[in-house]
Amino acid sequence: MRVVMIGTGYVGLVSGACFADFGHAVTCVDKDAAKIDALRRGVMPIYEPGLEGLVAKNTKADRLSFTTEPAEVIGDADVVFLAVGTPSRRGDGHADLTYVYAASEEVAKLLSGYTVIVTKSTVPVGTGDEVEAIVRRVAPGADFDVASNPEFLREGAAIADFKRPDRVVVGTESERATEALRELYRPLYLNETPLIATSRRTAELTKYAANAFLAAKITFINEVADLCEKVGADVQEVARGIGLDNRIGPKFLNAGPGYGGSCFPKDTLALSRTAQQYGAPVTIVDAVILANERRKARMADVVVEAAGGKVSGKTIAVLGLTFKPNTDDMRDAPSLDIVPALQKAGATIRAYDPAGQQEAQKHLSDVAYSDSPYACAEGADIAVIVTEWDELRALDLDRLAGLLADRVLVDLRNIYTDEDASAAGLAYRALGKPVRQEPVVRLVAGNTAS
């Protein structure tokens, strides 16, 4: 099939490359000429494991191409995806649909023959209705259908998620459009991936409901972690105890500094605003949003507590900056709350992230960046693990202890154990674990723990 992807952001680029790998002829369209030129040269605008190779493979096979000119390809397309940004609207939290509606109007002017126009972007309930109205107004004689096909991709594992999904959700008001999308996803359908064919509005809401539920699960275990610290329980053991119940499941039950990224923050907020608009408030989601903001703000206090109540004049090594590993995405990352709060408290910040440092520099000021976790820790007083990158899961704790003046490790991802840290002579603070009043540390000649 001939596929056009409007937008070469995270969703559009990954989806376009994967559809091309299924054997379809895909053209990705973007107004950003510099980005298109870079993609033609094989330079990726985002960090996503495996994406560069997938794009190169399908570009070489002439299944994937890039252009700034939609007029060159839309007239011949069987399916046109709208994969443009839907950020939170400034001031009220609703999803900003400006780009979606502008793209719809532009596509409408170029239609020729039957075309399925698909919203791949995450959009509020009823957006497909408005897209259809725009196309009918601009091109009253056009032969088309509008569908919703939300994505469920995890940054850092997006290609695997696209090729081996739990399900594919397709929302249409037309059997003709449904069959076209079944054909598009046929490689998955043949592998018995469930394809849920439903109405457009149901598909739109399914995406928001999924993200809100996962955000609630994260927030729940974070609040349980706070309770564990007060009562002397272990949140990891609690999570295992409830996660083995197949009605609950173990995923998204890892206590941490709060959720971030491009989806959960804006999607929970947009769902809340939509629910208010329709007079059916989702109070659980409202509580999740508030609790997550408080969670991220609280993390700097955890570091200060571990430092003995004061970080003024201290140098803190922040290990990991992105909102999760295997991405360079800094959107709503907990580090964006933690670092400024520690700076405000008088700390000097060094930082290390395997992929996110260039992006972090756009958001964080007065930070010294290092080229390894050990270079970051050398001469610092305290180390704080913010993102659970694989290389941060296998640190030499003895070496780390020898580099830190105060020999304090704050682990906001619960990667290590109190026993391992103590054996290395580190005072250790994790989340959702009993907090030792008198940290047990091993004294090393020439280096005394505070």
Q: How far apart are CA 161 and CA 181, in angstroms?
A: 18
Structure tokens at 265: 């923050």
For the chain, the 3-state helix, strand and coil shares in percent, each to the nearest 5, are 45, 15, 45
Query: Which secondary-structure segment (H or E) carries 17?
Result: helix 10-21
Q: Of the residues 18, 228, 263, 376, which is catalytic?
A: 263
Q: Residue 285 is encoded by which pair of tokens?
A: 């989601």
Could you give the C-alpha distances from 181 to 35, 64, 148, 396, in angstroms and in order?
28, 19, 10, 50
Distance CA 365, CA 343 (A): 10
Tell me if residue 18 is catalytic.
no
CB-based contact 213:128 (threshold 8 Å): no
Instruction: Please say whether the beta carbons of 73 and 84 come within 8 A.
Output: no
CA 253 – CA 267 distance, rounded (Å): 20
Q: What is the DSSP string of 47-109?
A: --TTHHHHHHHHHHTTSEEEES-GGGTGGG-SEEEE----PBPTTT--B--HHHHHHHHHHHT
8 Å CB contact between 392 and 319: yes
Strand boundaries in 163-215, DSSP class E? 168-171, 195-198
Quick one: tokens of 3? Answer: 């596929």
User: Which has the closest alpha carbon to 55: 7, 17, 14, 16?
Assistant: 17
Which runs of E-coded beta strand occur in 172-323? Answer: 195-198, 315-319
Asked if 318 and 352 count as a contact pair (C-beta separation under 8 A), the reply is yes
Q: Give me the active site residues, please.
A: 263
